Structure 1
Amino acid sequence: MQKPLTEPAIVTRLRAAGCVFAEDEARLILSTARTPDDASAMVERRAAGLPLEHVLGWAEFCGLRIAVDPGVFVPRRRTEFLVREAACLVPPRPVVVDLCCGSGAMGAALVSLCRLQGVDEFALHAADVEPAAVRCARRNVAPLGGRVHEGDLFEPLPDALRGRVDVLLANVPYVPTGDLATMPPEARDHEPRVALDGGADGLDVLRRVTAEAPEWLVPGGHLLFETSERQVPDAVAAVERGGLAATVTTSEEFHATVVIGANPV
């Protein structure tokens, strides 16, 4: 077993690798590593460019520690705004679906917020096309009593959910294909392309979701997704073509834009 790395030594190594928040990352690595050898290996993986969350094996999201495996989309802090907006729309005994769930962070966080609001009875389903994401999401969602399904968008969901979903969270990929090369290497090189690439204008997957969402939502149910400011007009148009009433909400704190589609009562 090698001599334990000190925090200053880790900071120096991470700084040399270009990590902007080297001090914070060093503390997280030391608090997560089980042995000095683990810490050393984690530092080298981070210095090689792996996302910090993949190195740690978890990400903080809405106050929760969400398991995040290598090759799985890392939940972004800005997406916490979407979850907060969804929490305001949850009825008693809700049916929640987390589509394109990745690690299952959104569904898990929403259920946790529901419990804080006194909503203890719920049904949670999540789905993703990536097998690695499905395995990871099950670690986060199953302890909450939720189920995770593997497949493309709505295809793997139980048919019994049609017309019964109160809140549909859809963290669809919305980066235009031509912009992928400009993304940070941590995302571009280590997260699945299917979780990032939204097609020519970034809205290909969203249009598929908005076209089918009404048949899964209860009357008065809601679809929520995030998008960029420049995509808002086309995203709203997609929601309205699907028969939902669109509302746009923004947060300066989270630098986030969320579109909410309401199914008519």
Structure 2
Amino acid sequence: MAPGNLAYDQIVAALRGAGCVFAEDEATLIVQAAEGPDQVASMVRQRIEGRPLEVIVGWAEFCGLRVAVEPGVFVPRRRTEVVVREAVARARAGAVVVDLCCGTGAVGAAIHAVVEAVELYAVDIEPAAVACARRTLEPLGGRVLEGDLFAPLPATLVGRVDLLVVNAPYVPTDAIALMPPEAREHEPRVTLDGGADGVEVQRRVAAGAGRWLAPGGHLLIETSRGQAGRTVEAFVAGGLSAQVQRAEDVDGTVVVGSAIGPARRGGAVTSD
């Protein structure tokens, strides 16, 4: 079954009718991933029902990598590439990297692909995410831990983390109902729900980060353009500097900070 024949056109039409904006691209990926006509039909049916394409085909492209995606795991978004870009810009060979709220482990894997000799740890509270991240990161020498934020990290990392990269949930609770069905119905709520104002988990991360960061180490948290001000406030309250970085090409926003002395506490810089 190849693009251009009737069956392919029918797939495109079915996907477009279900609201898939990039129906041709999705049809091509399904045809390439399927092992036969029956599996094609099954995949198309799942997509029409709203299941994320990445879960259906079993992978997502992220920073040029093919990252495994399993059912019940948060799907990597292209906007998160801004976190990787800003982390790599601040990295050094042999850096200690912690990927918090790691999901599939995509951010950690992307940093590992660029920075030499990374000492990589990843943490998630969701067992399905931990299993998926282990599939991705353990072959790279990474260590994946299950638990709530910093809790499962070994004490030997206190004061040693050069890059703490975080994609914590930042959608306000009441806004989850407005998200696309493929997110709100197929991804764990804990990976989406950032609390009443969307920043509750980010506040917990910023409050605890200083203990783990090495001198000159950085905390990088993905946020949205609209939430960036609240994320900056969380950094400042946690005794961190804060700088907002935007990547318009992927519509991504990240706040970057590091521990500051008491005399400088309260400073924040924004960059759009």
TM-score where L is the length of structure 1? 0.94
Q: Which amino acid aligns with 2:98?
A: V
1:47 is aligned to 48
Does 1:187 find its partner at 2:188? no
Counterpart amino acid of 1:250?
R
Q: What percent of counterpart residues are identical? A: 60
Deviation at 1:261, TM superposition (A): 1.0
Look up the equivalent residue of 1:125 and give its one-letter code: Y
Does the CA contact (< 8 Å) of 1:219 and 1:264 recur in 2?
no
Deviation track 1:198-218 (CA, whole Å, cap 9, x = no partner) reads 000000000100011010010
Moved over 6 A (4+): none
Aligned-pair CA distance for 1:257: 1.4
Name the CA distance, whole Å, in 2 between partners of 1:8 and 1:215: 56
* Shift in Å, 1:128: 0.3
**CA RMSD, aligned part only?**
1.4
Aligned counterpart for 2:242 among listed residues 243, 246, 249: 246
Which residue of 2 is the match for residue 231 of structure 1?
A: 227
2:17 maps to 16
Alignment check: 8 A CA contact 2:81 2:252 kept: no
- Per the alignment, in what secondary structure is the counterpart of residue 113 of structure 2? helix
Cα distance between partner residues in 1 of 2:153 and 2:144 = 9
Q: Is the 8 A contact 1:180 1:197 kept in 2?
A: yes
Q: Once the two structures are superposed, what CA deviation does each residue of 1:155-185 show, in whole Å capped at 9, x if it has no partner? A: 0111111111100001000000011111111
Amino acid aligned to 1:170? V
**Partner deviation per Cα, 1:206-256 (whole Å, 9 max, x = no partner):** 010001101001010000011122222221121112111111111211111
Cα distance, 1:6 vs. partner?
2.6
Q: How does 1:92-241 map to 2 (within 5 A)?
A: 92-114=93-115, 119=116, 121-241=117-237
2: CA distance between counterparts of 1:130 and 1:21?
30
Corresponding residue for 1:64?
A: 65
2:244–2:255 Cα contact (<8 Å) kept? yes
Comparing 203-212 with 240-249, greater Cα deviation is found at 240-249
1:5 deviates by 8.2
Aligned partners of 1:231 and 1:30: how far apart in 2? 38
Q: What is the rounded CA distance, in whole Å, between the counterparts of 2:157 and 2:88 in structure 1?
A: 20
In the alignment, what sits opposite 1:75? 76
Higher deviation after alignment, 11-20 or 162-171 = 11-20
